[in-house]
Amino acid sequence: MKKQTKQFLTDLMNSISPSGYEGPVAKVWKAEAEKFAAKVWTDTHGNSHAIINPGGSPRVMFAGHYDEIGFQISYIDDNGFLWMQALGGWDPQIAQGQRVQINTKKGIVFGVIGKVAIHMQTPEQRKKVSEVKDLWVDIGAKNKKEAEKIVEIGDPLVIAADFKEMTADIVVGRAFDDRAGAFVVLEAAKQLSKLNPSAEIHAVSTVQEEIGLRGATTAAFGIDPDIAIAVDVTFSTDHPNMGEAMKRENLIELGKGPVLTRGPNINSKLFDLLVKTAKAEKIPYQINAAPRGTGTDANALQLNRAGVTTALVSIPLRYMHSPCEMVSLSDLEMSAKLLAKTVAKITPRTNFVPF
């Protein structure tokens, strides 16, 4: 991956932007889009848009959500401890004992998520899984009055875990779900800006996916695309203790290329075009079955208005919804190339009626 491209990815990953508070990552994404897109803007919901080849046909939408899971301060007690609620789906066992970054109007405030030490727990308490409601954030404040000078009710926070390179290809970070997708859709749009496509391309980084596919729903209604491709992460199952889950999730491996979903959420002809393009371009790919709605932006895109020709391209990811989400840089690059080369083949005459 080129140095400048990797810096863009790093800046995306290090932005503090949980669901509903995506401003910092939107700033990074739009600055990169403005280098090549014909038009860049953010809508009133918070989705960021970049258009390539305005006036082209058909209208194609890429969607990758740039919100992440996090927490929101909901109460400050008399002793200055902060109590919180989850933004998105958390495993509370992961949250406890973590350092956090709180995004306040005055800047970033650091804290830690506290819990009663194991030495002071009863045998029964040790057997119980903590819930988010049992955890608090300690910012070192002496009391409520001091804490209220530093933070406010509603301030968002995330785990303090930055982007790190583990090998030349394997990287780890807090929010690859789904900054990876937001990165890929913009990189694909950048490549398409040089490929003279027939289509008008809308690359969109969507908001609030982690709390219900909300941004994709509103963005797609406004764009009214003919074709839409969502880019998200999926479970990489090439690690220990998968057991019976492997039969359900299939074998998905890091570094073996993008994952193409098959199932009711996916237009069969668009799926076939993705596979055909991958073979022609010698892009390795993996296939995963999804027998119902996928729980990604693809679900909202397919059901927009009278229905949209939809596909889902996913990036293999280990340790989802944790501070150490892991992906392969080559998977990101191959996913962007596959999107660009596929859409470059689409013309107004391309027929996607499934049967």
Catalytic residue among 32, 200, 209, 333: 209
12 in Cβ contact with 183 (< 8 Å): yes
Beta bridge mates, 15: none
Site of tokens 């944790």: 322
* Annotation marks residue 209 as catalytic: yes
What is the rounded distance in angstroms from the CA atom of residue 325 to the CA atom of residue 250? 19
Q: How far is CA 128 from CA 20, 91, 125, in A?
A: 31, 13, 5
Round the CA-based radius of gyration of the chain to a whole number and report it: 21
Q: What are phi and psi of 38, to 5 degrees?
A: -70, -30
227 forms bridges with which residues in the sheet?
60, 309
Contact 263, 293 (CB under 8 A): no
Catalytic residues: 209
